[in-house]
Amino acid sequence: MPGLVRGLGLWSATAIVIGDTIGTGVFLVTSDMVRTVGSAALVFAAWIVGGLIVLFGAFCYAELGAAFPKAGGAYVYLERGLGPLWGFLFGWMSSFLERPVGMATLAAGFVRFIGFLLPAVAAPLWVGHVGGYSFSLTVAQPLAAAVIVVITAVNYLSVRLGGAIQILLTSLKIATIVLIVFLGVILGKHAAVTAGSVISPIRLGTLGAFLTALVPAMWAYNGFNDLGDLGEEIQQPHKNIPRAIIVGLLTVGGLYLAANLVYFHVLPLAQLAESQHVASDVVQSFAGHQGAAWLTLAMAISALGALHVVELTGARIPYAMARDGYFIRAFSTVHPAFRTPGVSILGLSAWSAVILLSGQYDQLFTCVIFASWILYGMTTASVIVLRRKRPDMERPYRTWGYPLVPVLFVLSAFSLVLSTLFDSPRESVFGLVLIIIGLPFYFYWKKRRA
């Protein structure tokens, strides 16, 4: 029976980390943070602290990825560290919710950016009502589903092809941010000298405001943890997984800080607080409407690159579960010629298209974020558990700052979970329910394995 092939080198792996992490958050969320803390210094502090917290998580995932270079990533780490139940619940949540909802959201975001350039994309095709709920189908939804089909074809044909395309898409992302920074410094020198450069200190300096601003920053760094899903397809995984995760995340952090320096250099604080599209407003201030249109196209490419990584990495999770007997057996199939988990790729793509066409992906997104960070914290806790359970296990890379670093990340992850619970209690409880729903399926497959 054919297996997966190690077709991803260090450059491809690093591009996957950067491409997965940089979505659209860096272009949008600074305005939310400004409205929360009312201070440029506190916004930068939130970006730095959020980056450090996620870097702590990256150190932990690097140790686990180097020790267990297997398809499935956190599914394997949790299974080895905390037991098969927790591994299954992570795989269940990822396969049915996190990855397909993420794909639907990114595909819709890509088309939404295209709609800025071609408004006809947002035209409604059908509107229906069931009870108190209304459902609509726009041109954008089937177009976004078509985008998923194209990305699926790329991932189905070859992991090497997927890695090469990701290098291209990630290079375009990096070039976009670098260009914004360069032009902002050169052309936007006088834009910040305007009235209203200070806004009233709404909860200025308070811990609660800072923690609230920290949430979107940490979400913008999300994605560092997915490279391990490709553990069986990375060349020299013991070396390249830690290198790619850490170098990729440090690169992202540098780009984020540079972009925000330009945002605050070009626009006054009050205008940043009011902006709905920070990067677009910044570019428009020195390059006009045409420059903003080009940036919108670049943000569409950024969403496309993130979509590609989410499917590339996400399809390996149900594949690994099926191979272990905890999922539909067909999902463990590897294509004999392309050496990719073809059935898993197609299944994930089809389910994400269903969620997309239903139009309910926005409502599910907060639920998924809540559930995901619970399991991210538990995955990092596996580092501590495995150090105690298996002290003699080979660890090609060891977490820097152990045990303080994993403890700080676990505490931060659960602080983010609590913050989400208070801000969106209904969606958070529903996210917890979505995890619990996986329990009967776990016991069913466990019985079948026995």
Q: What is the pLDDT of residues 79-98, one digit of tens each?
A: 999 999 999 999 999 998 88
> What is the token pair recorded at 38?
């009312």
Q: Which two tokens stand for residue 331?
A: 């999902």
pLDDT, residue 136, reads 61
Torsion 343-369-257-250 (CA) sign = negative
- Burial class for 228, CB neighbours closer than 10 Å (0-12, 13-18, 19+): buried
Geometric angle at alpha carbon 347, from 343 and 353, rounded to 5°? 145
| pLDDT confidence of residue 194 | 41
Apex 11 CA angle, 6 and 17, nearest 5: 90
Share of the chain above pLDDT 70, in %: 90
User: What 3-state class would DSSP assign to 340?
Assistant: coil
Arithmetic mean of pLDDT, 374-389: 93
Q: CA 375, CA 371: separation in Å to the nearest integer?
A: 7
In the chain, what are the domains?
10-449 (1.20.1740.10)
User: What gap in Å lies between CA 345 and CA 326, rounded to an integer?
Assistant: 17
Give the tokens for residue 309: 């990584």
Give the integer Cα–Cα distance in Å for 54 and 246: 10
What is the reported pLDDT for 38? 81
Mean pLDDT of the 2-27 span: 88
How is the chain split among helix, strand and coil, in percent rounded to 5? 75, 5, 20
CA 404/CA 380 separation, integer angstroms: 12
Asked whether 434 and 93 are in contact (CB, 8 A), the reply is yes
pLDDT score of 204: 43
The 10 Å Cβ neighbour count of residue 297 is 15
Which residue, among 211, 185, 229, 263, has the nearest Cα to 70 in the 3D structure?
229
